[in-house]
Amino acid sequence: MVDSRLSARALDALLGLWRTREPAYEALADAIRLLCLDNRIAPRTALPAERELAVRLGVSRTTVAAAYRSLRASGHIESIRGSGSITRPLGRRDLGRVTGDEQSIDLQQASPAAWPGLAAVYADAAADAPSIVARAGYDVLGRRGLREAIAQRYTARGLPTDPTQIMVTNGAQSAISLLASLLVARGDRVLLETPTYPHAAEAFARQGARLVGVPVTVGAGWDLERAEHAILRSRPSALYLMPDFHNPTGESMSVEARARIADLARSVGALVIVDETTAELGVDRVISPVPFAASAGDDGVLTLGSLGKTVWGGVRIGWLRADVDMIRRLTAARPTSDLGTPEFEQAVAERLMPAMPEILAQRSEMFRASRDVAVRVLRREVPEWDIPDVAGGVALWVGLGAPRSSALTLAARRRGLLLSAGPRFSVGGGHERHIRVPFTAPAPVLERAAGLLVAAWRDVADARFETGEAAPLDAVV
């Protein structure tokens, strides 16, 4: 059964800069495997015909045929008479084969386990269940007490905020999707950093936006010259930025850069969407930076945050801070996607707000230990890699020195380590020379993960895997 069909043009857009190694057919096959593993190509999707894809990619039909043959051998696609090459549902072995009794290590989401005190907060909220269930159960704008607590934290960080400027959402992704649906029309340009948070890029692209990337590099940060050129030339309707402990590079934007980018955005009438989900995750020390809107001007700036990276991904609480008129527009637009945020989750979040200093201190200590062990192992075992020094955030943006990120990601999966390849974070293709290594897991897990990554790199460097012919079939999943 075929659920959907993918055109050659659409697959070309998803593939980005896929031809990073030889043979070309195996590079193409690996790129399609990663799209399947990331669920960017859904199961039971018909891939383009060989001739059609070959013309689109500018390669021979033999190359595409060999890539499809490799995908059939590894179980990622099957041939169905009358339908062509169809992607298959992924089984357990597709998610990473593990030797012995070890379990897979999943570092794709860069989210820590729950803060140790969270269970007690849930219990306290449950004890107040009679008053919670007496309410409607959800609220489009958000619980008053929680909005007051969020506003107070912004004010304490140097950005005076009234509760009427806050909307509570179902996590940060819900906030991003809501903004994309309200602010972006088909054909509009949206400027994002590259690398960037991939689900934000997907939310804007889903609305038909044309994405414009501005580079952020480890050590150098934001390329302001490129940013100025891109903003003035493309005249985007919105900018999406992560100026504090940027995910995945860990960079933080200077005060001067914030002011310059904000001024440029205002000059073309673009709104600035600031993602602060990692802003308070200082690793060397606990930090609550002055918000972008305070240092660069509040006009035209929308700020979003969440508890996903600080408390737990299972606490689906996020929020938007904007002027009152924008909050009214968001309130009117929201019911088309969801009717509000559950009361119980909001009651939990409201109790968590006073504990944020304690939560951030625990996260800082945990992330520091994990970062340090990952840096130590990788620098010792793979000295040719560029391992950055980061003061906060959730990950290391590791420079590989060669365009082998996709191949390394697949090799790591064979050993039971699940990572996302560099191109997953790109806008317009690229980043095959980098891989994101989150340090949100406990230090012992990160030490084992680093060891698996080193072993996977040696697999990739082994000439036996260059052609894809001598490797066992499960080595190319």
Mean pLDDT for the stretch of residues 236-261:
97
* Domain span holding position 464: 94-115+358-476
Q: Which helix (H) or strand (E) holds 126?
A: helix 118-127
| Residue 367, burial from CB neighbour count under 10 angstroms (0-12, 13-18, 19+) | buried
DSSP code of 89? P
Is residue 11 within a helix (H) or strand (E), and if so which, with residue range?
Answer: helix 8-15
Q: What predicted TM-score, i.e. pTM, was given to this entire model? A: 0.88
Please tell me whether residues 315 and 393 are part of one structural domain.
no
> What percent of the chain has pLDDT above 90?
81
Q: What are phi and psi of 303, to 5 degrees?
A: -115, 135
Among 98, 159, 443, 185, residue whose Cα is nearest residue 294: 159
Taking the C-alpha atoms of residue 95 and residue 86, their distance in angstroms, rounded to an integer, is: 19
Check whether 466 has a pLDDT greater than 50.
Answer: no
**Which value, to the nearest 10 degrees, does the dihedral of the CA atoms of residues 264, 298, 165, 244 take?**
80
| Cβ-contact 433, 403 below 8 angstroms | yes
Band of residue 211 on the pLDDT scale cut at 50, 70, 90: very high
Q: Considering its fold, how many domains does the chain have in total?
A: 3
User: What is the identity of the amino acid at 281?
Assistant: L
Residue 422 DSSP code = G
CATH number of domain containing 388:
3.90.1150.10
Mean pLDDT of 370-386: 98
Strand partners, 434: 399
Q: How confident is the model at residue 390 (pLDDT cuts 50, 70, 90)?
A: very high
- Residue 69: give its domain's CATH number: 1.10.10.10
Asked if 272 contacts 308 with a C-beta cutoff of 8 angstroms, the reply is no
Say whether both 226 and 154 belong to one domain: yes
Whether 207 contacts 184, CB under 8 Å: yes
Residues with Cβ within 8 Å of 474's Cβ and at least 6 positions away in sequence, in order, are 74, 93, 97, 414
**Residue 248 main-chain phi, psi, to 5 deg:** -110, 0
Q: If you average pLDDT over each of 30-39, 87-96, 304-313, which comes out highest? A: 304-313
349 and 377 in a single domain? The answer is no
Q: Look up residue 235 and give its DSSP letter.
A: -
- Say yes or no: 125 and 17 in one domain: no
Q: Are residues 196 and 240 in the same domain?
A: yes
Residue type, 23: P
Give the end of a domain, one of 290, 320, 355: 355
pLDDT of 463 strictly over 70: no
Instruction: Flag whether pLDDT at 73 surpasses 80.
Output: yes
What is the DSSP annotation of 174-233?
HHHHHHHHHH--TT-EEEEEES--HHHHHHHHHTTPEEEEEEEETTTEE-HHHHHHHHHH
Record the tokens describing residue 126, joined without a space. Answer: 């449950």
Measure the CA–CA gap between 357 and 381, rounded to whole angstroms: 36
Same-domain pairing of 193 and 324: yes
Of the residues 355, 378, 409, the one at which a domain ends? 355
Residue 210 sits in the same domain as residue 269: yes
Q: At what angle do helices 405-414 and 443-461 cross, to 10 degrees?
A: 120
Question: Residues 247, 235: one domain?
Answer: yes
Strand 238-241 and strand 189-194: the pairing is parallel
Helix, strand or coil, per DSSP, at residue 110: coil
Give pLDDT tens digits for 171-193. 999 999 999 999 999 999 999 99
Per the structure block, which two tokens stand in for 116? 């140790």
**pLDDT at residue number 91:** 63
Do 148 and 63 belong to one domain? no
- Copy the structure tokens of residue 172: 């940060």
Residues 422, 428, 430, 434, Cα dihedral to 10°: -30
DSSP at 159: -
CA 132 – CA 134 distance, rounded (Å): 5
Which of 325, 355, 385 delimits the end of a domain?
355
Sheet holding 45-46, edge to edge: 4-5, 45-46, 84-87, 77-80
Nearest to 454 by CA among 401, 417, 424: 417
- Residue 269 sits in the same domain as residue 131: yes
User: Is the bond leading into 354 cis (omega within 30 degrees of zero)?
Assistant: no
Instruction: Please tell me which residue, 89 or 1, carries the higher pLDDT value.
Output: 89
Q: Tell me, yes or no, whether 378 and 432 share the same domain.
A: yes
With beta carbons less than 8 A apart as the criterion, state whether 424 and 198 touch: yes
Name which residue leads in pLDDT, 30 or 196: 196
Considering the chain, what is the average pLDDT of its residues?
A: 91
Domain CATH for 323? 3.40.640.10
User: Environment class of residue 290 by beta-carbon count within 10 Å: exposed (0-12), middle (13-18) or buried (19+)?
Assistant: middle
| DSSP-assigned beta bridge partners for residue 296 | none
Per DSSP, 44 falls in state T
Q: Are residues 219 and 349 in the same domain?
A: yes
Rounded-to-integer distance, Cα 93 and Cα 102, Å: 14
Report pLDDT for 469. Answer: 30
